[in-house]
């Protein structure tokens, strides 16, 4: 089963927590045991799992990434968004989560984030749920 979420960012760099939307997809699938695969089909966006209890964690992650990969640094890519491409590759475009008893097997403080690095934009996130 594959579902596609439409995600809209409203900032150039943004971590949007999507855990609730992903949990809903898993519940609707009816699958009690298996694997969830998330995939971002964009070269300037990503998906990650990290703490969702304190919003400052996402803010700090963005600040850290912006320090590691500044927006302007003599890049040669004509579109001017090389920093977004680099950040996408660093974070990664996919995640896997175990499904147990119909729920995501995330840690207590973990949440799923769609990571925008070249926004604001409308994006897609594919979710494949496999029974097993």
pLDDT digits 0-9 by tens, 25-37: 999 999 999 999 9
> Residue 13 pLDDT more than 90?
yes
The CATH number, out of the four listed (2.60.420.10, 1.10.3720.10, 3.40.440.10, 2.60.120.460), of the domain defined by the range 2-131: 2.60.120.460
Q: Tell me the pLDDT tens digit for each residue of 48-74.
A: 999 999 999 999 999 999 999 998 989
CA–CA separation, 58 and 106 (whole Å): 17
pLDDT digits (tens, 9 = 90+) for 57-116: 999 999 999 999 998 989 999 888 999 999 999 999 999 999 999 999 999 999 999 999
Which among 77, 84, 19, 76 has a CA at the least distance from the CA of 48? 19
**Which residues have C-beta within 8 Å of that of residue 127, sequence separation ≥ 6?**
2, 3, 4, 5, 22, 25, 36, 37, 38, 39
Q: Do the Cβ atoms of 119 and 21 come closer than 8 Å?
A: no
Measured at the CA of 10, the angle between CA 116 and CA 84, to 5 degrees, comes to 25
Q: Name the pTM for this structure.
A: 0.96
At 1 the pLDDT is: 86
């Amino acid at each position: 089963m594959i579902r596609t979420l439409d995600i809209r960012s409203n900032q150039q760099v943004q971590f949007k927590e999507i855990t609730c939307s992903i949990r809903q997809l898993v519940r609707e699938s009816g699958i009690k045991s298996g694997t969830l695969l998330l995939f971002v089909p964009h070269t300037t966006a990503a998906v990650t799992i990290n703490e969702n209890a304190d919003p400052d964690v996402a803010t700090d992650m963005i600040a850290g990434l912006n320090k590691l990969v500044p927006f302007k640094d003599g890049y040669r890519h004509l579109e001017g968004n090389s920093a977004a491409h680099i950040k996408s590759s660093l974070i990664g475009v996919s995640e896997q989560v175990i499904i147990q008893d119909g729920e995501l097997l995330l840690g207590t403080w973990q949440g799923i984030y769609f990571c925008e690095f070249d926004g604001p934009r409308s994006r897609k996130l594919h979710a494949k749920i496999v029974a097993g």
